[in-house]
Amino acid sequence: MEKTLKRIHPVSDPEATYFLRVSWEKDLGTGFDLLLSDCQCAWTGTVSESDISREAADIEMDREKYVEELRKALIAGEESAGKYNFVIS
């Protein structure tokens, strides 16, 4: 299983710091698990392969392109910094 940990500062509260851990087996397209923490609380979730396919279809985006955008937003390093915003609600 592969994992990444990323520090994020959501646009909804730029002074706050959250940590986002993403873990997956083969690639993001087969589904992944998320853990979001502000160091006081933690929230977890699972995104399935069918969830990914459904979301890509809902926004009328090619599935492979959608998975690539997920990769950039969730696990890419400095090359995607500043290109994606996070809102915590």
Q: What is the CATH number of the domain that holds 46?
A: 2.170.210.10
87 lies in some domain: no
Instruction: Report the percent of the chain where pLDDT is more than 70.
Output: 93
* Contacts for 2-8: CB closer than 8 Å, 24+ residues apart: 4/74, 4/75, 6/74, 6/75, 8/86
51 lies in some domain: yes
Q: What is the mean pLDDT of residues 13-41?
A: 94
53 lies in some domain: yes
Report yes or no: 52 and 66 within 8 Å, Cβ to Cβ. Answer: yes
69 lies in some domain: yes
pLDDT (0 to 100) of residue 89: 83
Residue type, 15: E
Q: What average pLDDT does the chain have?
A: 91
28 lies in some domain: yes
85 lies in some domain: no
pLDDT (0 to 100) of residue 14: 87
pTM score:
0.84
Which residue would you say has higher pLDDT here, 78 or 19? 19
Structural domain that includes position 58: 2-80
Residue-wise burial string across 52-64, b where 16 or more C-beta atoms lie within 10 A, e elsewhere: beeebeeeeeeee
Domain count, the chain: 1
